[in-house]
Structure 1
Amino acid sequence: MRSRELVSRSRTTRRVTAVGGAAVVLLVPVLAGCSSDPTDDVRAAAQAFLDDWSGGDTAAAADRTTDPAATTALLEQTATDLPEASLTAELGDVQVAEDGAATVDWQATWDLATAPDWAYGAALELQEGEDGWQVVAEPTVVHPELAEGQHLELTRTLPDRAPITDGTGAPLFTETEVVNVGVDPAQVTDLPALAAGLAAATGVSAEQITADVQAAPAGQFVPVITLRRPDFEAIRAQVFDLPGAVFPTGSRLLAPTARFGQALLGRVGEATAEVLEETVGEDGEQLYAAGDRLGLSGLQRARQEQLTGTPGFTVSVASTDESLEDAGRVLDTVDPVPGTPVQTPLLPAVQNAADAAVATQPLATHLVVVRPGTGELLAVSSNEAANPANALSGQFPPGSSMKTMTATALLSAGALTPDTAVPCPGTTVVEGREFENEDQFDLGTVPFTEAFAQSCNTTFIQQAMQLPDDALAAAAASYGVGTDWQLPVGVFSGEVPTTSTGTTKAADAIGQGQVLMSPAQLALVAAGIASGTPAAPVEVVGADAAGAAPAGPGQAVLDQLRPMMRQVVLSGTASELADRGEVYGKTGTAEFGTNTPPDSHGWFMGYQLGGPQGDLAFAVLVEAGQSSSAAVAVTDAFLGAL
């Protein structure tokens, strides 16, 4: 218990890192100077000892004890036992005996850096000598239950990682057997041949393998790649007999497949320096340590603390003499606190269908599926050729899929109706620049619905040039385009300029110019059209809303736009989907780059009503697909796999 005298005095606090990584923070009573009261002298001696220890001056602290050499070894051992720890020491009661001995009670609170604090009561024994009071050198200086030949042993533990679950609450990540393909340098007989063989089987460059092996210390395992057991079995015959190749097994927390929802879910692995740097507590303390398995990307990283939980620890007695009976005796234990699950709206049946569909395309391909009316992301898929981040945060010109928003602006302005006769010439000129339809097709004068279904660029440019300069941006914003979504894993919400004029405005109307979109945002636009109630995107069930729900263009506009999108499938540029149920959509071909003729991305965005998985909205992007037909084919495969 804290003494009445100590409570009545003012204190200061000091924290300094000590030699070996341990530190002491003292709540120091302000002493008025020398006192005839031996209690004050004893307290000052104890304070001086802890001051020196806290300041990293182990030698000075040891010199204040009855055995400097033994104390030096003890304090240095404690710094090793509790690496990177710091100590807060609060002095308590002082008892002075008539025989020149004294005891100072104190409360020890160790900040264990990457584990919860460890607190216990302790006492310093002091003796009065010719040079004043000295701390008695004994292991109890560190902990009251330590004896000669003993020191502390700290074992830190993380709880099992909390699951990320699907829309039904079922965990998506499970412990999965993996094979660590690598090299034992001591067994290598022909490094170039080994590197070439491993490279051919794994896709890791032979140059990188060679460099890693040459740089590795003697006797160290050199990792090449970690594979799920089925993936390793597929290459076993190529690598198993290569001299120097070794294959230790292990387990990792993995999603059902390597690509399953990767952009959203992310992955778990050994903590990187970057991840450790960002996972700090409110007062800047490090929460996790090198070697911990943490989220490296996606929701696994964005919801790190929620999923990882709080580490626990055990402090036990270690001994240099294994014959001591109480070696291994536990001094204190704090159990790790498990994290809490994160539920996503992903549906495995939809995600698997999306993954199977994008796998049919050799070019980089993405497919994002959204639930109309809720904004829930049901699938986020990218194939092996793609950067999975582009499904959510990629910035691409949307091409003619933008015509859903241009048509929204035209219908909202009352400039025309789906039945209005409009010209669709092969080319049109704006401020001296010629714009054309694909292969300069010319429909003559047709209903606006047909111009939409056949994706007539010239019609949309001519009509859009009559709109106010901000009309396209306003129409897009009614579906959420341009919103700063507040999400754990970022979604690029698109850009449609508000001030474009002339040729830029003409290009914007057909999804070129300065218009940019992500597959996720285009799927959200399709969902807003399908439901009539555009919604903010949802990545985590029960989380705060990512933003205000978009206003939508109004029911009257949507009642006109939807039949136009249905006609795209029934008789227009996506007629390959006519037998896939009640499907609505819009194709898009978006030019990019400097090649002549230019390369093009292929798009399809739309929705299906009353399908096997309920109403679904989606967007497909085939990077450099050259035409929308590639995206329509992926959509067809997706709907067929549901």
Structure 2
Amino acid sequence: MRRFLSLLVASSLAATSLAACTPKPASAEPVVKQFLSDWASQDFDGAGDLSDNPSSASDTLQASWDGLQAEGVDTQVTDVKLNGTTATANYHVTWDLPKDRELSYDATMTLNRINDEWKVRWMPSALHPQLGANQHLELRAVNAERASVISSDGADVLTPGTEYRILVDLDKTNDKTATARTLAAALNAAHATDNTVPTADAADLAKKLADASGTYSVALVSTQQGEALKKTLAANQEITFNEEPAMVPTDPTFAPDIVNRVASLVESDLEGANGWEVAAVSNEGAVIGELDYHAPQVAPAVKISLDHNVQKAAEEAVNLRADMKTMLVAIRPSTGEILAVAQTDLADQDGDLALNGQFPPGSTFKIITASAGIQDEGLSPDSIVPCPGSMNIYGRIVNNYNQFSLGDVPMTTAFAKSCNTTFANISEQLQKGQLKDMGA
């Protein structure tokens, strides 16, 4: 029994001594931290050398840094767990991206102990948990859709769309004069059926092409006309069509000159704030999946004072006198908003007469004269006023249209019939400066 106890004690001491001499597995944490440090300092080859697939790890880290346009990355190890010859590291990643943007997420990597050395078992998920094989990270813009331009009654006037820009590649042009003739003929033919297509003078265009080099922009046309002209000019290899985003009129006949001006004036107001996303992208640049998304902010619609129905009515009204240079501007007196501007084709030949021409206010000024008479002469709408066919005002003869005469009538009747003599007489009774003050 004593011998047995001695052997038992000896065996126990030997086991204790053996356990004390067996080294504990070295921690994987230094390798994890070095890998993350190399990544953050853009030493991608150094990080790759700490993995079991150096070239793949280095290439993926480099592609993702470039794809994100990264300005820096911060990593924080949260824990490292050992399980024999395997270790699992958890860490938090925060990327600094352009324009003060940030991408944050948690990630995990696995390490294996091989020949007493820890190596990162390389998988793209060590970079981002949702990355797969042969994928990297990319930052991409999410463009905001442009806002619309609407009329005061809520009808769409301009909406986001596309136009075609017609270009001439002068390096491919053998005969610039012939190209100019071909283009001018095509544009003028299209204009005959759609007046939104600009016309062109062949001789003038030929001179411009002769003085230009590289690529020359000839005109912008609607998508519909662009497609038609592409077919017409398909044999001319020097003529190309470039599709471009643009604000497109919903009705090309609706106040075209004003709408074109509005388009250029409010262009910057229609741009919203672009959003952005981080995507998993293949080596060929194809988007595999969306990893982080920030929606764009669309700008509010821009409202113009033109009233869709009033504008259409104004256009119909002036075209009743299409044989003359007829113009019409309708306003809302309470606010001064322009509700409609219209003029005939004959008036168009002299430019924007309705907006740029200087004309006497005519009978519209009777509103001012009547207001002054009510305020400063004590008149009322029911006051009886004279309306002879003509009247001598200090030597100036004032006539009514075709010298019509109403006799003595209430001011409302004289106003409704647009009696010139009545309101000339009222203005003559005012004190100096009263009519000017009322007009102001």
Shift of residue 194, structure 1, vs aligned partner? 1.8
More helix by proportion, 1 or 2? 2
* Matched residue, 1:78: 64
CA drift at 1:302: 2.9
Flag the structure with larger Rg: 2
Question: What is the TM-score with the length of structure 2 in the denominator?
Answer: 0.54
Of 324, 330, 334 in structure 1, the residue corresponding to residue 289 of structure 2 is 330
* Aligned position for 1:414: 376
| Counterpart selection for 2:136 from 151, 154, 160 | 151
For the 8 Å contact 1:66–1:136, the answer to whether it is kept is: no
1:281-329 Cα shifts (integer Å, max 9, x gaps): xxxxxxxxxxxxxx7543x653543xxx864657233036x9xxxx853
Distance change in 2, residues 1:93/1:177 (3 Å): closer
Matching residue of 1:214: 213
Q: Is the 8 A contact 1:66 1:135 kept in 2?
A: no
SS at the partner of 1:302?
helix
**Counterpart mapping for 1:229-308 below 5 A:** 244-246=238-240, 254-258=248-252, 260-261=254-255, 297-298=265-266, 301-305=268-272
Deviation (angstroms), 1:106:
1.1
The Cα shift of 1:369 comes to: 3.4
Query: Quick one: which amino acid aligns to residue 373 of structure 2?
Result: L
Q: Distance between the aligned counterparts of 1:74 and 1:397, measured in 2?
A: 70
Q: Secondary structure at the match of 1:442?
A: strand
1:623 maps to none
- Residue in structure 2 matched with residue 317 of structure 1 by the alignment: 281
One-letter identity of the residue aligned with 2:64: T
2:12 maps to what in 1?
A: none
Q: Is the 8 A contact 1:172 1:255 kept in 2?
A: yes
SS of equivalent to 1:121: strand
**Cα gap change, 1:127/1:225 in structure 2, threshold over 3 Å: closer, same or farther?**
farther
Q: Distance in 2 between matches of 1:259 and 1:409?
A: 38
CA distance in 1, matches of 2:361, 2:369: 11
Given that 2:166 and 2:239 are in contact with CA atoms closer than 8 Å, whether structure 1 keeps it comes out as yes
1:86 and 1:177 map into 2 onto residues whose CA distance is 35
Equivalent residue letter for 2:288: R
CA contact (8 A) 1:406 1:464 kept: no
Q: What SS does the aligned partner of 2:49 have? A: coil
Q: Distance in 2 between matches of 1:79 and 1:296?
A: 39
- TM-score normalized with structure 1 length: 0.41
Matched, 1:105 2:91: yes
| Aligned mates of 1:117, 1:296 — CA distance in 2 | 35
CA separation of 1:443/1:363 partners in 2, compared to 1, >3 Å: closer, same or farther?
closer
Q: What amino acid is the match of 1:442?
A: I
5+ residue gaps, structure 2, are: 1-26, 189-197, 400-406
- Cα distance, 1:262–1:319 mapped onto 2, change above 3 Å: same
Percent of aligned positions with the same letter in both sequences?
18
Could you tell me which runs of 5 or more consecutive residues in structure 1 were left unpaired when the two chains were aligned. 1-37, 53-57, 217-221, 269-294, 427-440, 477-495, 497-642
CA shift in 2, pair 1:105/1:197, >3 Å: same
How many equivalent residue pairs? 366
* CA offset digits 1:2-60 (Å, max 9, x no partner): xxxxxxxxxxxxxxxxxxxxxxxxxxxxxxxxxxxx999789757754653xxxxx4x5
**Change beyond 3 A, Cα 1:423–1:369:** same
Secondary structure class of the residue paired with 1:122: strand
| Amino acid in the other structure paired with 1:329 | I
Please say if residues 369 and 377 of structure 1, whose CA atoms lie closer than 8 Å, have aligned partners that are also in contact.
Answer: yes
RMSD, matched Cα? 6.1
Residue 351 of structure 2 corresponds to residue 351 of structure 1: no
Match of 1:369 in 2: 330
Distance verdict in 2 for CA 1:137–1:212, change over 3 Å: farther
Alignment partners' CA distance in 2, 1:95 and 1:137: 16
- In the alignment, the residues of structure 1 paired with residue 64 and residue 148 of structure 2 have an alpha-carbon distance, to the nearest angstrom, of 37
Q: Measure the CA separation in 2 of the matches of 1:462 and 1:170.
A: 47
**Counterpart contact for 1:183–1:244, Cα < 8 Å:** yes
**C-alpha distance after superposition, 1:520-555 (max 9, x if no partner):** xxxxxxxxxxxxxxxxxxxxxxxxxxxxxxxxxxxx
Cα distance between partner residues in 2 of 1:208 and 1:63:
62
Q: Is the 8 A contact 1:265 1:297 kept in 2?
A: no
1:105 Cα deviation (Å)?
0.7
Instruction: Quote the residue 2:180 is aligned against.
Output: 195
State the distance in 2 between where 1:104 and 1:61 align.
Answer: 20
Change in Cα spacing, 1:410 to 1:43, as seen in structure 2 (3 Å) is: farther
The answer to whether the 8 Å contact 2:147/2:159 transfers is: no
**What is the distance in 2 between the residues matched to 1:423 and 1:99?**
117
Q: Quick one: which amino acid aligns to residue 465 of structure 1?
A: K
SS at match of 2:291: strand
Give runs of aligned pairs for residues 150-189 of structure 1, distance below 5 A.
150-152=135-137, 156-158=141-143, 164=149, 171-173=156-158, 180-185=165-170, 187-189=172-174
